[in-house]
Chain A
Amino acid sequence: MAAERVKKLMQGNEACAEGALYAGCEFYAGYPITPSTEIGEILSYKLPLIGGKFIQMEDEIGGMAATIGGSLAGKKSLTATSGPGLSLKQECIGFAAMAEVPCVIINVMRGGPSTGYPTGPSQSDIMATKWGTHGDTPVIAVTPSYVPEIFTETVRAFNLAEKYRTPVFVLFDEIIGHMREVVTIPHPGELEVIDRAKTDVENKEDYLPYDNRFEIPPLAPFGEGYRYHVTGLNHDEDGFPTNDSKKIDAGNRKILAKIENNKEDIWSCEEVDTEDAEVLVFAFGSSARSASFAVREARKQGIKAGLLRPLTIWPFPDEPLRKAASKAKVVIVPELNLGQTVLEVERTLPGVKVEGLHRVDGEPITPAEILEVIDKYK
């Protein structure tokens, strides 16, 4: 009989660090920033215990760059940050996407713009995550709502990063980052852990880091004898910069297509009473906790309310949303910003009434506020 699973009361940031370790993360580079600092603090203690490496870098840019370096050396690599740090990391995030370097970026969202409200929650980095770095950049972002889910979604983020050779964001906010809930630690092997695909090229000189035979070519770790070129410039299969317009076009399309073609694998959503929902709430992260309560209350009042809670916010879950909203008269989008994902919902559902509910005062959206909007449409 398998041993009892360990149950532990832990903070969201701690669940994130534990999830990273479960996923096989052996490398962390970052810079202290509220409200994500505990992730680095915990890993500064725990990574050396397993022979891993924690480095505190001189700034946010260094934190992202070293994470890329750690990944190219073959280790599952992580960094954690918050708003201003996300802004500083953007160039390197684009580099990781362009050079197809798997890595995970935790963003414990706080109020912005600028220094904003470091100790208060926010969901205002949704668009910065998608569009923050220049160019057409592939983005995967997951959005847990509960502390145990931070654990599992961090594991999933590593899986997606390794599988699709791309940076993956875990977005949560100060509320769940600092909230404490019980997490049941799964046994090893209980959750799927995807490791980086190994190349089967026998002659190491023949290895191509961007081999066009694959949708996602295997990435050989530095130091194993595969010598190749990594650059942020548009590059050919061998990694060297190219000025060939056909190759530039193909390369730019390829990094987007690998995400677009695999959306169904990347998407994850929770649906609550969506089958007959006339009033659909689309909510993620901490706002979804309030939304979940509000929808249950509305059902008690006889309102046909439902909740679609995306755990993947990028690529945007347009098809699951269309399906969940098939009977909806209205879609309510509560989010801690002044209107970001609501734009995607409008784009996805032309002709459907969409109403945003927004707060940017550093306080969470309450169930009562959501219920008030639901009530308007009963």
Chain B
Amino acid sequence: MATLKELASKEELFCGGHRLCAGCGIPPIMRTILKSAGAPVAVTTSTGCLEVGSTIYPYSAWRTPWIHSAFENAGATISGMEAAYTALKRKGKLPCGDKEIKFMAVGGDGGTYDIGFQALSGALERGHDFVYVCYDNGAYMNTGIQRSSATPMGSATTTSPAGSVIPGKQEYRKDLTRIVVAHGVKYVGQSSPHNWKDLAMKAEKAFAVKGPTFLNVISPCPLGWYTKSEVSMETAKVAVDTCFWPLYEVEEGVMKLNYKPKTKRPIEDWLKMQGRFKHLFKGDHTELIAKIQEGIDKDWQRLLDIDGKAIF
């Protein structure tokens, strides 16, 4: 595991000058993960903020080979890349010889939880050797903040607007990390960019594994969360301290909670930081907030129950 100093002195593979928003969680996520790969990486990115914000001609933020194909198929594209590489390597036809190349697919929550889910699931099942990174900012931010299946309950988006009768999104978010764990892959990690050490450690482990691995990383979005750009990392931290976004990993089927907050903060602490939940604090929404808390408590308890255990 690299120290912060070592990490900082490594070459930046996702470099500055991109057009992602100030305070966006994606750039620190990408920088930390790519610095932890330990080998050259070829990347595919599905349609989304990262794709649009990092590749506007004539600039690119990527110091790696990079392909964008469509919205729904990062999992399939990386499958093709990895399969071709493996075949060429086997036949001795690679100009780089036996030099190891890593493969990484990146999608937002829309491109991963929703439209790209089938491609991801297929790639995991076929067992391609790649790391899938989901930056989860909890809505379709690139097209203007529409709800996704990762949007937290109670959140106002442009397609789950908060009105006097319906206060934002009515459903719990999909627990994608858990669904990926159910695929039985060798490594799955859920992380946050505010904790660089946790993220770098998980990226290192994910890249070291032969076979498909998955990282789900919460990505604060000042635009869609209605926060000031300077509080992004704080917002991510409170997401973890309220156990909305637990940091954990499942390695070879063994579950490990990487961080247990000394005091589990109430979810209001996180909700109040963000404009997307402000309607919950106008009028009486105690029932809905209690329901949000109930979902978090249930998930957290489930994680505590299986912490340290072999779950498959």
Partner-B contacts on A (CB < 8 A) = 31-34, 37, 40-41, 44-45, 48, 54, 56, 58-60, 84, 88, 114-115
Knowing A32-B140, A41-B146, A54-B159, the reply to whether A48 touches B115 (Cβ < 8 A) is no
Residues of B within 8 A of A (CB): 47, 68, 70-72, 110, 114-115, 117, 140, 143-144, 146-147, 149, 158-161, 163, 165-166
A48 CB contacts on chain B under 8 angstroms: 163, 165-166
Question: Which of A37, A60, A88 contacts B146, CB < 8 Å?
Answer: A37
Q: How far does the Cβ of B130 sit from chain A's closest Cβ, in whole Å? A: 22
CB atoms of B114 and A59 under 8 A apart: yes
Residues of B within 8 A of A84 (CB): 70-71
Residues of B within 8 A of A115 (CB): 47, 68, 70-71
Q: How far is the CA of A84 from the CA of B72 in the complex (A)?
A: 10
User: What is the bound-complex CA distance between A34 and B110, given in angstroms?
Assistant: 14
A14 to chain B, nearest CB (A): 13
Least Cβ–Cβ distance between B224 and chain A, in angstroms = 12
Q: Quick check: B161 and A44 within 8 Å, CB to CB?
A: yes
Complex contacts, B110 vs chain A, CB 8 Å? 32
CA distance A40 to B161 in the complex (A): 11
From A37, A58, A60, A88, B149 is in contact (CB under 8 Å) with: A58
Can you give 17 A-B contacts (C-beta < 8 A)?
A32-B159, A37-B146, A41-B144, A41-B146, A41-B159, A44-B158, A44-B160, A45-B161, A48-B165, A48-B166, A56-B160, A58-B114, A58-B149, A59-B115, A84-B70, A84-B71, A115-B71
B143 engages A34 (CB within 8 Å)? yes
Known pairs A48-B166, A58-B114, A58-B115; A32 contacts B143 (CB<8 A): yes
Is there an interface contact between B159 and A56, defined as CB atoms closer than 8 Å? yes
A54→B160 CA distance, assembly (Å): 10
How long is the Cα–Cα vector from A88 to B160 in the complex, in angstroms?
24
B146 and A32 contact, CB distance less than 8 A: yes
> B149: which A residues are within 8 A, CB to CB?
58
B166 / chain A contacts, CB cutoff of 8 Å = 48
Please indicate the chain A residues that have their CB under 8 angstroms from the CB of B163 in the complex: 45, 48
Of chain A, the residue at the smallest CB distance from B147 is A56
Are B72 and A59 touching (Cβ within 8 A)?
yes
* Cα of A60 to Cα of B161 in the assembled complex, Å: 21
Classify the interface of chain B: helix, strand, loop or mixed.
Answer: loop
Contact status A88-B159, CB under 8 Å: no
Top 9 closest pairs, chain A to chain B, by CB: A59-B115, A32-B146, A44-B159, A32-B143, A58-B114, A41-B158, A32-B140, A56-B159, A45-B161
Shortest Cβ distance from residue B55 to the other chain A in the assembled complex, whole angstroms: 11
Complex Cα spacing A44 to B166, Å: 11
Q: Which residues of A contact B47 (CB under 8 A)?
A: 115
Q: How far is the CB of A84 from chain B (nearest CB, A)?
A: 7
- B139 vs chain A, min Cβ distance (A): 9
The reply to whether A60 and B115 form a contact with Cβ atoms under 8 Å apart is yes
**What is the bound-complex CA distance between A45 and B160, given in angstroms?**
8
Shortest beta-carbon distance from A141 to chain B in Å = 24
Least CB distance, B175 to chain A, in whole angstroms: 15
Using A41-B158, A44-B160, A84-B71 as known contacts, list a sample of 4 further A-B pairs with CB atoms less than 8 Å apart, ordered by residue number in A.
A32-B159, A44-B158, A56-B160, A114-B70
- B287 to chain A minimum Cβ distance, whole angstroms, is 19
Question: Which residues from B are CB-within-8-Å of A54?
Answer: 159
Interface centre among B70, B140, B158, B163 (most CB of A within 10 A): B158
Q: Give the residue among A45, A60, A88 with the most B Cβ atoms within 10 A.
A: A45
The smallest beta-carbon distance between B8 and chain A, in angstroms, is 35
How far is it, in angstroms, between the C-alpha of A306 and the C-alpha of B243 when the chains are bound?
68
Q: How far is the CB of A106 from chain B (nearest CB, A)?
A: 15
Residues of B within 8 A of A60 (CB): 115
Per the bound structure, the CA–CA distance linking A88 and B71 in Å amounts to 11
- Give CA–CA (A48, B159) in the complex, Å: 12
CA distance A59 to B147 in the complex (A): 12
Instruction: Please give me the residue from chain B that is nearest to A28 by CB atom.
Output: B159
Question: A40: nearest residue on chain B (CB-CB)?
Answer: B159
For A40, what are the chain B residues with a Cβ–Cβ distance below 8 Å? Answer: 146, 159
Tell me if A32 and B144 are in contact (CB < 8 A). yes
A41 to B143, CA, bound (A): 11
Kindly state the separation between the CA atoms of A54 and B47 in the bound complex, as whole angstroms: 24
Q: Who on chain B is nearest to A88 by CB? A: B72
- Nearest CB in chain B to that of A45: its residue: B161
Chain B minimum-CB-distance residue to A41: B158
Please give, as numbers and ranges, the residues of chain A lying within 8 Å of B68 by CB-CB distance.
115
List chain B residues, Cβ under 8 A from A31.
Answer: 115
Q: Which residues of B contact A44 (CB under 8 A)?
A: 158-161
Give every chain B residue within 8 A of A45 (Cβ-Cβ): 161, 163
Q: In this complex, what residue of A is CB-closest to B71?
A: A84
A34 to B143, CA, bound (A): 6
Name the residue in A32, A58, A115 with the highest tally of chain B Cβ atoms < 10 Å from its Cβ: A32
Q: How far is the CA of A33 from the CA of B70 in the complex (A)?
A: 13
Q: Closest chain A residue to B162 by CB distance? A: A45
- Residues of the A chain whose Cβ atoms lie less than 8 Å from the Cβ of B161: 41, 44-45
Give B142's nearest chain A residue, CB to CB. Answer: A34
Report the nearest A residue to B158, measured CB to CB.
A41
A115 CA to B70 CA in the complex, in Å? Answer: 7
- In the complex, chain B residues whose CB is within 8 Å of the CB of A59: 72, 114-115
How many angstroms between the C-alpha atoms of A59 and B68 in the bound complex?
Answer: 18
CA distance A230 to B129 in the complex (A): 42
Complex Cα distance, B47 from A182, in Å, reads 35
A114 vs B71: C-alpha distance when bound (angstroms): 10
Complex-state Cα separation, A41 to B68, whole angstroms: 27
Distance in angstroms between the alpha carbons of A48 and B165 in the assembled complex: 9
Give the Cβ gap from A218 to chain B, nearest Cβ, in Å: 34
| Closest chain A residue, CB of each to CB of B143 | A32
Chain A residues lying within 8 Å of B159, measured Cβ to Cβ, are 32, 40-41, 44, 54, 56
CB distance from A44 to the nearest CB of B (A): 4
How far, in angstroms, from A167 to B165 measured CA to CA in the complex?
33
By beta carbon, the residue of chain A nearest B52 is: A118
